[in-house]
Structure 1
Amino acid sequence: MQTSPFPSPAPLDARDERVFEAVRELLAVQGMRLSMDAVATLAGCSKQTLYSRYGCKRELLRQAMRLHVSNATSGLSSCDRKPLRQTLIDFAIGYLDHRNKPKVLQTSQLLGASAHEFRDEARFMYHGSAEALRDQVAEWMQTEIARGRLTHDDPHFMAELLLSMIAGQDFERQRFHAPHRDDAQQRQRWADFAIDAFLRAFANAPEAGMAPENKNNPRSFS
């Protein structure tokens, strides 16, 4: 039986958990201006400990983003016992639930607002988060293509398309303070719709485990 093309994240010790939690908290209020002093204070350790353990602020951020991407993709597996559709639905719900957390939204808005001022840092954050997530999903898709559960195509294009379909316009609605899918039921309905549309384009039908199309099921966010 085949397993995931990338391993689950290794368990963190208590100190790493405090440090990475401090990074998440501070990114939501300081954005690109996050400092090692602030991380050390919030995590309850010395700045010297941070530098000896992580090297520099950029490496600390790199490790924090790598952990996030690993957690986000840990549910993707090539286990024969789990239908392809259910694997993707679970991934989509996890992605949407995470992106709808208030602190995550606040961080995204803060980083976006300061990107013009901190261009190098913004590119670094993009490559370590959004692009790294796409690459991980593409790696999983390449495995599924080789197994015959997905049709042969460009896995990076497929991964980018999938993530775009899952996101829809909801994060734009939030950015402009418009009504959005703010509860689990609405996000579930959207995830079902997006994943079924993706599978109609790329899945080998017998492997998809797709639900029958229901034209009477409204899909709006309101």
Structure 2
Amino acid sequence: MMPTSSPARPRQERDRRVHEAVHEAVHALLSEQGMRLSMEAVAARAGCSKQTLYAHYGCKQNLLRAVMRDQIALTTVPFDEDGADLRESLLAFAERHLEQLNRPHVIQTCRLLDAESHRFPDQARQIYEDGIAALQDRLAEWLRKASARGQLRHDDPHAMAELLLGMIVGLDFERQRFHTPHRSDAPSRRRWAERTIDSFLRAFAAQGSSPESHA
């Protein structure tokens, strides 16, 4: 008798394709329309029906939240590990974060959201909470665990996370906003990431350790 495939597998694969198409559509529409994007526009761009979109996400707020959470998960992939090599894990995060901020659709989206946030304060607040604040929370938890392992000195992990994120971005985001040359290539981002992480590790090194000893 020939084995039969589980009926759940085609459905899961179909759901995955819908998920990817919808998230790509949201990213594109955010960079084109900002917070004015509608569920109808997302469905049309993703090539699915509005009914499918509402069945998967329920409402626009849930859709934006799902997209932000996926983005945070991608940015913090290195933090899924145990952080045995603290410096390399932080460098991987810093480079990934800078690379993400340099994507054209991200730059355009940030410009539009900045211009429209006063008109859509509730949606802007939601995007901040599900995006930037969620990234800070996840980074803070990872730094807390590194402190518990004795890799960093004990301090307020949320303050440490905010300082690190600010150091990583530096003035590059402002340069992008004002159409000024910024760290748009991988080598310059790597150099800045190394400077940032080594400075952070010197500031928060555990007693008796140095940045070189965090491997």
TM > 0.5 fold call: yes
- Runs of 5+ consecutive residues of structure 2 not aligned to the other structure: 1-12
Q: How many residues align?
A: 200
Which sits farther off after the overlay, 178-187 or 51-60? 178-187
The residue aligned with 1:98 is 100
- After superposition, the Cα gap between the structure-2 partners of 1:207 and 1:146, relative to the gap in structure 1 and judged at 3 Å, is farther
Higher percent of residues as helix: 2
Distance, in Å, in 2 between the alignment partners of 1:208 and 1:78 is 19
Aligned to 2:17: 14
Residue from 129, 153, 158 that aligns with 2:155: 153
Q: What is residue 69 of structure 2 aligned with on the other side? A: 66
Counterparts of residues 1-222 of structure 1 (less than 5 Å): 13-79=16-82, 82-204=84-206, 206=209, 208-209=211-212
Which stretches of structure 1, 4 residues or longer, exceed 2 Å deviation after superposition? 77-80, 203-211
Q: Note closer, same or farther for the CA distance 1:42–1:210 as it changes in structure 2 (3 Å cut).
A: farther
Shift of 1:74: 1.4
Structure 1, unpaired ranges of 5+: 1-10, 212-222
Query: Computing the radius of gyration over CA atoms, which structure comes out larger, 1 or 2?
Result: 2
CA drift at 1:77: 4.2
- CA shift, 1:47, in A, is 0.4
Aligned-pair identity in percent equals: 52
Q: Is the 8 A contact 2:202 2:210 kept in 1?
A: no
1:83/1:209 contact within 8 Å kept: no
- 1:5 aligns with none
Distance 2:63 2:115 in 1: 22
Aligned-partner Cα distance in 1 for 2:137–2:61: 20
Per-residue CA shift, 1:118-169, capped at 9, x if unaligned?
A: 1111111111101110011001111111111111000000000000000000
| Cα pair 1:83 1:207 within 8 Å, conserved | no
In the alignment, the residues of structure 1 paired with residue 93 and residue 34 of structure 2 have an alpha-carbon distance, to the nearest angstrom, of 27
Q: How far 1:207 sits from its partner (Å)?
A: 7.1
